[in-house]
Each structure stands twice: as C-alpha cells, then as structure tokens.
Amino acid sequence: MTVDTNTFQLLERIRDRFGPGIFGKIVQKQLALAFYEAGFKHIVERGVQGVDIDAATVETKYALEVKTTEARMVSLSEENISALKDRAKDGYTPLVAVLRMRMFEDWILGAVPLGRLEAGSLPLSHLRAYRLSKLEASICPIFVRVVNRHSKGALAEGEHYLMKILDNIRQDPT
C-alpha cells in the first residue's frame, strides 16, 4: 500500500506549516506510533541523541534512523551510523527508514548491513536492495491511518501534540 493522495496532501500541509526540519520530527513520531499500533509495545522515540526510534516486541527489536526526502538519496552522518551500531550491540536490527515525499511513494525500511553504511549520501536504490518488505507491508497502512487520525492535532500543535500521545503510551502501554 502506498501513501494515498489525501494522506500525501496532509503530509504536505504539515511540512508547509512547520518546515522540513520540524516536519521530519513529526513524521518520526507518526512512524513511532505506527510501530506501536503494529504491536511493537516497547517504543522509544528520541528527538535528539542516538537512534531515532527503538521498536521492540518480545521476539523482534529494531533501531531506526528516520529520514524524509524529496530526492533520490538521503544523507547519513557518522553520528547516525554510530548510533545504529550502538543499538546493534544490544540486539537491535538497525534500519534506515526513509519516506520519500512524492505522490504514491511509501516508507522504505532497509536493513543495510552496518559494514556497508558510510557517512554521506545513501541512494534510495541502494537502500531498496535491503528492504524488509513484510515489515513495510505491515507498517505502511498503519502509518497512513496514524497520519489521518492525528493530522488535526499535528497541524495545530506540531510535534508537541504527538509527544503527548507517545508519553501517554509510555505511561500506559496496554
């Protein structure tokens, strides 16, 4: 499932209202909520320092570096790669999660081997070779629902609205 026209337009409105930097943080929080709704009850979303999202179930643990782009590539920093390596030491599978802001595109969730990640530009074509299709198929439709459900709050309050929702999940993960 790809991001439909309505959802894409909502994401564009959020990006236009807050700018690309804050938009990336908002999308990151929306993705964290999608993982939670997909059954990953241990969610740690970080606005700064370290990987962007830890998402875990009893059996599966992912550490996500989240990027948004309009281009055919994303930039990874030494800090991004180092944070993924740190979480890998704790048993997390490192993922680069990219949402390309183009009509009918969707999340690419790529488990690029850490030895193949280098600081600089990462072409999306390279990331696609390592995509986790089953995980994408699970997360993408939920992400669409999360965006649609929380768009009014995100447009009104930005990332602070989504931070409150994530805080409530941490306090009551049932």
Q: Where are the domains of the chain?
A: 5-171
Which pLDDT score is estimated for 174?
53
Are the beta carbons of 35 and 139 closer than 8 angstroms?
yes
Which pLDDT score is estimated for 173?
54
Which pLDDT score is estimated for 172?
65
Mean pLDDT by groups of 10 residues along the chain of 174 residues = 86 96 96 97 88 96 96 95 96 97 91 94 95 96 97 96 92 61
- Best CA proximity match to 130, nearest among 98, 92, 84, 86: 98
Which pLDDT score is estimated for 171?
72
Express the helix, strand and coil content of the chain in percent, nearest 5 each: 50, 20, 25
Supply the CATH classification number for the domain 5-171.
Answer: 3.40.1350.10
Which pLDDT score is estimated for 27?
97
